[in-house]
Amino acid sequence: MIKILFVCHGNICRSPMAEFLFKSYVRKRGADSHFYIASAATSMEEIGNPVHRGTRAKLNQLGIDCSGKRAVRLTGADYDKYDYLIGMDDWNVRNILRIVGDDSQSKVWKLLDFTERAGEEIADPWYTGDFETTYRDIMEGLDGLWRHLEESGEMNIE
């Protein structure tokens, strides 16, 4: 089983969008039993809060239910629990490393690092209100992540 944790600052916009989009993505490919997918925050600001209304609206538009999701915080123990800890931007990655310590197993990535836009960041709708751009960025990253998992041989789904 491949365990993936998507991470952003508050766990109410980008990381839950990535979590629920990737859950839908793998389900449509008949691979959901091969994955454990979740999301978390690097800050304490939104802990316990539901998914942002803009992210909920975009997911609902796609027929994806995220009800019941509440913001949780990344812990140091998550480094051992997950195969991939995927941040949305440089600040997230810095904070992930601050929380988990050394990335000796190369588990920490930015989502767009799996694309031709490596090094770029997922647009933050908290500041822009533009959930559509965030959605497109995340989908590009998820397509790249899927290809990475196929090409690396980590995913053996028949």
- Nearest alpha-carbon partner for 23 in 63, 50, 82, 61: 63
Residue 105, exposed/middle/buried by CB under 10 A (0-12, 13-18, 19+)? Answer: exposed
Active site residue 8: yes
Considering the candidates 13, 14, 89, 137, report the single residue annotated as catalytic.
Answer: 14
Active site residue 66: no
Contacts 24+ apart (CB under 8 A), 139-142: 139/21, 140/112, 140/115, 141/18, 141/86, 141/111, 141/112, 141/114, 141/115, 142/18, 142/21, 142/22, 142/25, 142/111
Considering the candidates 78, 89, 113, 124, report the single residue annotated as catalytic.
Answer: 124
Considering the candidates 8, 66, 73, 113, report the single residue annotated as catalytic.
Answer: 8
Active site residue 124: yes
- Nearest alpha-carbon partner for 85 in 59, 51, 117, 113: 113
Residues recognised as catalytic: 8, 14, 124
